[in-house]
Amino acid sequence: MTITQRSGAADPRQVRRPLHTGPTRIAIVEDDPLSRTLLSHMVSLLGHVPIEPASPSAAIDAAASGEIDLMLLDLNLDQDDGFAILERIRALELRPDAIRLPVIAVTGYVAEQDRTRCLDAGFDRHLGKPVRIEALRDAIEACGLPPRDAEQDRSGMNDAARVVETARRLRETQPGDFSLGPTVLEKFAMRSVRWIEHLQEAARGNDRQQLFDAVEAVRAGADFMGALRLAQLTTDLLSACAQSDTATMQQLLRSISAEHEAILALLLAPPVQSR
């Protein structure tokens, strides 16, 4: 994962902070419900408060009013273009009393020309999808927002406890809407199954680039779920591939498949009802 800073970008220490008080508030402008949920969850894990504007216009209003500290902006929105949204935000910041908002581009376009275009357009950072929590943390901190301690709440847990906690957070994504939680979980489960399938296909075909891309996707999902062993297994697979160690690769693929099945069972298990 590459995080790139635009040369000549404003020094984050000189950016005036928003008018609100309290925890750091990060707006997530993303029209895909699952991607929005995953980003919100990662923002929460990092100790910040995720804000999900109802529309691009609402996101611009939040930026102009100083209600948020930072924005994660997807470039390919159904209703609008990410570059156009950023242009409107930067135009509003030309006012003498305006507050400059750090904005991070979040996109599946990760070629060098895509990064350059984003940074030249006025984005403060560029994050490629799938977003890994470490890359998101580093990008947020690089924009001048201090690290938080919420991740420490999960540091003492084992993988099973972290996955169960992830499932709980996903179910509570939309308080009062009990139909959405399971749908988000099911979509995430199906997406993770595709990641594993792509990983296996790349390993069988000995396609190094495809394997690297698949490993990045699986590791991002494993990070999100808190499945540290799965993340490590994919890293080990990449090393075995680099050494052309076919026997180890086959063993790791079996371990990855078994670990993923166990994680899915935890993730999709019915929540324990308190008495």
pTM exceeds cut of 0.75: no
5's tokens: 């800073």
With contact defined as beta carbons under 8 Å apart, do 29 and 59 qualify?
A: yes
Q: Where in the chain is the domain with CATH 1.20.120?
A: 159-267
Q: What class is the 159-267 domain?
A: mainly alpha
With contact defined as beta carbons under 8 Å apart, do 151 and 169 qualify?
A: no
Calculate helix-pair angle for 246-267, 208-225, nearest 10 degrees.
Answer: 30
Tens digits of residue pLDDT in 158-172: 777 788 788 777 776
| pLDDT attached to residue 215 | 87
6's tokens: 């635009």
What is the per-residue DSSP string for 68-94? -SEEEEESB-SSSBHHHHHHHHHHHTT
E strand residue ranges, the chain: 4-5, 25-29, 49-51, 70-74, 103-107, 125-128
Q: What is the mean pLDDT of each run of 10 residues along the chain (275 residues)?
A: 42 44 86 82 81 92 91 90 95 86 93 92 92 85 74 61 78 54 69 86 83 86 84 88 88 88 78 53
φ and ψ at residue 18, rounded to 5 degrees: -60, 170
Residue 64 CA to residue 67 CA, distance in Å, equals 8
Q: Where in the chain is the domain with CATH 3.40.50.2300?
A: 4-153
With contact defined as beta carbons under 8 Å apart, do 192 and 260 qualify?
A: yes
Find where tokens 């993988």 sit: 159
In CATH, the architecture of 4-153 is: 3-Layer(aba) Sandwich (3.40)
With contact defined as beta carbons under 8 Å apart, do 241 and 208 qualify?
A: yes
Other Cβ atoms within 10 Å of 85 Cβ, number: 23
Q: Is 167 left (phi over 0), alpha (psi -120 to 50) or beta?
A: alpha
